Amino acid sequence: MSSGPFLAVDWGTTNLRAWRLEEAGTVLQRAEFPLGVSQLAPGEAAARFESEVRPALGAQDLPALLCGMIGSTLGWANAPYLECPVSLAKLAGNLLEVAPGVRIVPGLTCAGLVGPDLMRGEETQVLGWQAADPARLHGRHLLCHPGTHAKWVRIEEGHVTRFVTAMTGELYDLLGSHSVLKFNPPPSDEDFDPEAFDRGAAAAGDGGALASRLFGLRGLTVSGQLPPAAAPSWLSGLLIGAEIASVWPAVASADEKVAHVVGTARLCDRYARVLTARGVGCEIADGETAVIAGLTRIWAAAP
């Protein structure tokens, strides 16, 4: 088992978050970098990690544990995907060492709706969410991780048994930037219109005919029935509503009453609005707290 302080890193497609941690997971220092893997040239990750990330946290000599897209073909090295069901022990026993003392958490895979589904990074949040309550290591639970590629994760007796991915966040960005629905000007987080969001979520219906429902936004704004400034909130509601309506039957059991939503407060609150309106109980947990706790559990369990 690993022991002592270490450097924990969540390295995604667009951003990098890093923490210098004590063995028990106490945060000694935090830093964030606009250094996602999508911005790196081949072979650049190792050099940027040593020249920028380590010095920023005074962690030049610490061992490091990394998770996220840094373990993909776009990142430092391609860490293997582990077939579900996956436990803490299985994750911790299959870390990929990419440099002396630097290891990457593997990804997860399972049968998806049309082919293999893939996960990198959210598995650490699952483990961190479990750490907050020992009861979560038993029974069946359903977690939702909102984001660019939202994940719906089924947990049974502490194991990740399956999950489903929805490209909801990426669709929102693409439609708002490069389609006939393009936002002008681009919205900020402060521009959220809860009434427009709820209208969009209601318009999602059962999640079907999404392409037609999307064009409905064009009609609403051109006819003056929806102010252009409210369009981003309406589109967010439609996409999240369609995601929940269409994915829920594929991941939830017949008696499912509660979804655990793990991520940033802004996105979690939006998912909670839709889930609550559809009669589903919702419990929210902070994503960064979960990542830190999950990496700490993996670190402690690693051989």
Same domain, 127 and 204: no
CA 47 to chain centre: 26
158 lies in a domain?
Answer: no
Report which residue type is found at 264: T
153 falls within a domain: no
Clarify whether residues 268 and 296 are in a common domain: no
- Give the span between the Cα atoms of 79 and 123, in whole angstroms: 14
- Answer whether residue 38 is part of any domain: yes
Evaluate whether 244 touches 275 at the Cβ level (below 8 Å): yes
Q: Are both 66 and 84 inside the same structural domain?
A: yes
Statement to judge: residues 65 and 15 lie in one domain? yes
Contact (Cβ atoms closer than 8 angstroms) between residue 71 and residue 104: yes
Q: What number of other Cβ atoms are within 10 A of residue 136's Cβ? A: 16
Q: Which two tokens stand for residue 21?
A: 């941690």
Query: For residue 219, how far is the Cα from the chain centroid?
Result: 32
- Domain carrying residue 83: 6-133+290-301
State residue 3's pLDDT score.
Answer: 73
Output the CA torsion 254→155→84→120 (10° steps): 120
Per-residue pLDDT of the chain (303 residues; tens, 9 = 90+): 677 899 999 999 989 999 999 988 999 999 999 999 999 999 999 999 999 999 999 999 999 999 999 999 999 999 999 999 999 999 999 999 999 999 999 999 999 999 999 999 999 999 999 999 999 999 999 999 999 999 999 999 999 999 999 999 999 999 999 999 999 888 887 889 999 999 999 999 999 999 999 999 999 999 999 999 999 999 999 999 999 999 999 999 988 999 999 999 999 999 999 999 999 999 999 999 999 999 999 999 999
Same domain, residue pair 189 and 110: no
CATH of the domain at 188: 3.30.420.310
> Which residue do the tokens 């038993």 mark?
138
Q: What is the rounded CA–CA span in Å between residue 136 and residue 159? A: 10
In a domain, 159, yes or no: no
108 strand-pairing partners: 82, 119
What is the total count of domains within the chain? 2
Same domain, 231 and 295: no
Claim to verify: residue 175 and residue 126 sit in the same structural domain: no
Judgement on whether residues 12 and 121 belong to the same structural domain of the protein: yes
CA-CA distance, 243 to 165, in Å (whole number)?
A: 10
Has residue 10 been placed in a domain? yes
- Helices assigned H by DSSP within the chain: 44-48, 54-56, 88-92, 122-131, 168-178, 194-203, 210-222, 231-251, 265-277, 287-301
Q: What is the distance between the alpha carbons of residues 19 and 54, in angstroms, rounded to a whole number?
A: 10
Asked whether 159 and 150 are in contact (CB, 8 A), the reply is no
The CATH number covering residue 105 comes to 3.30.420.300
pTM given for the model: 0.94
Residues 259 and 296 grouped into a single domain: no
The token duo for 42 is 């081949």
In a domain, 140, yes or no: no
Identify the pLDDT of residue 15. Answer: 93
* Number of alpha helices (DSSP H) and beta strands (DSSP E) in the chain: 10, 14
Whether 297 is covered by a domain: the verdict is yes
Bridge partner list, 141: 155
The pLDDT value recorded for residue 181 is: 96
pLDDT at site 185: 85
State how far the Cα of 3 lies from the Cα of 23, in Å rounded to an integer.
6
**74 in a structural domain:** yes
36 and 60, same domain (yes or no)? yes
pLDDT of residue 1: 65
**Is 297 found in the same domain as 272?**
no
Q: What is the pLDDT of residue 184?
A: 86
Q: Is the same domain home to 72 and 177? A: no
